[in-house]
Amino acid sequence: MQKLPSRLHHNAYVAKDLEKTRWFYEDVLGFPLVATWCEKTQLFGKERTYCHCFFGIEDGSALAFFQFADADDQAEFGPELPVSGFRHIALKVEKNLQQSLLQKLKDINYPQDKYYFLEHGYCNSLYALDPDNMIVELCTDHPDVEQINADVLPKAHSELKRWLAGDHTPNNDAYFRQQEI
């Protein structure tokens, strides 16, 4: 059997303003800034100068963000993407941390249209938009997540085949809803 990766090393995104990004991830969410690399290298046919900041996660992985020195490079690589709840990073947290982060968003008067909560059944999620409108999902697992995972694993391929064949019947009986927070 092929061995799986041991953990996420980092996910990388482009930011408009690394100080606003640092404030959100470090001061609001509590992810420490663990590295800042200022680099100049030949990439995609041109010399690029950029800053790359890493915000630590407990397992040693990180969320990373780029900002380019050159306005043309910045325009070429983002972060102008349409806001979509289906483009996000999801991180597992304990319920008390999720609740304290929710309270912090309220306490700092973070715009109410920039965060929301969904109950998925297998997990409950606090979603918050960062300064570049990337969504960070902070998930707590259902208490029976191990049993839920054991139940769905044997059906993963057959459910995908069913969906691709055109049967779009939901297979999650959970009560999905956006909750008032």
45, 80, 115 - which closes a domain: 80
Burial (0-12, 13-18, 19+ Cβ within 10 Å), 62: buried
Two tokens at 77? Answer: 């690589």
Are 136 and 173 contained in the same domain? Answer: yes
Percent with pLDDT over 90 in the chain: 49
Range of the domain at 69: 1-80
Average pLDDT of the chain? 87
| pLDDT tens-digit readout, 73-109 | 988 887 776 666 667 888 999 999 999 999 999 999 9
Q: Where is the domain boundary, 56, 80, 104? A: 80
Say what the pLDDT of residue 174 is: 57
Give yes or no for residue 53 having a pLDDT over 90: yes
What is the model's pLDDT at position 163? 83
- Token readout for 178 is 């956006």
Taking a C-beta distance cutoff of 8 angstroms, is the pair 174, 151 a contact? no
Q: Are residues 76 and 104 in the same domain?
A: no
Q: In the block, which residue shows the tokens 């990073």?
A: 89
Q: Is 40 left (phi over 0), alpha (psi -120 to 50) or beta?
A: beta
Question: If DSSP codes are grouped into helix, strand and coil, which group holds residue 145?
Answer: helix
Q: Which amino acid belongs to residue 47?
A: E
Same domain? 3 vs 76: yes
